[in-house]
Amino acid sequence: MLKLSEEDRRAFGSAVKIAADRAEVGRAIANVYLALGDAIELRKPVCKTSGRCCRFEEFGHLLLVTTMEMAAFVRNRPAAIPLADVGCPFQVDKLCSVHSIRPFGCRIFFCDETAADWQKTQYERFHAEIKRLHDEMAVPYFYVEWREALAAIAAASESEYPS
């Protein structure tokens, strides 16, 4: 797992807290996710519901999230944030327990080998839009490994985040 320095962890946590308190940040991310959903519906990549994609080390990839994505997640998060050193802590019986609020990287990833080039193109397109929104909405941009982001949020006082 990639680690943030203590200074970056505090700055990230603060940026997420401030962004989570702004309803327009959540709406902006929701709009990106809706547009992505439309692109997925047009392409119809195959998901085998194997859960392998959530077992990052086994599948050989990282899930990275931005400040605004994490803010949207925090705003709608489950009461407890489980932590894990391996895989996604929200995977339960090969299924995502936070499917409706999962981050962009989870939404765009499919095991469908025929969709690999499409996924790369869509990732670049929608990530650029998320990055643009950070600039437009003056939200500090961090690009953090998912479990490190969760750990940073969990380390913050529970009272600092909306319930």
How many Å apart are CA 21 and CA 51, to the nearest integer?
A: 32
> Other CB atoms closer than 10 Å to residue 60's CB: what's the count?
8
Greater pLDDT, 140 or 2: 140
pLDDT given for residue 159 in this prediction? 40
**73: which residues sit within 8 A by CB, 6+ positions away?**
65, 98, 101, 103
Q: Among 71-80, 103-112, 122-131, which stretch is predicted with the lowest mean pLDDT?
A: 71-80
For residue 37, what are its two tokens?
Answer: 């959903």
Contact, 74 vs 16, CB < 8 A?
yes
For residue range 23-77, list pLDDT tens digits in order.
Answer: 999 999 999 999 999 999 999 998 877 788 888 888 888 899 999 999 999 998 8
Place of tokens 């990833």: 109
Report the relative pairing of strands 91-92 and 95-96 from DSSP bridges: antiparallel
3-state secondary structure of 85: coil
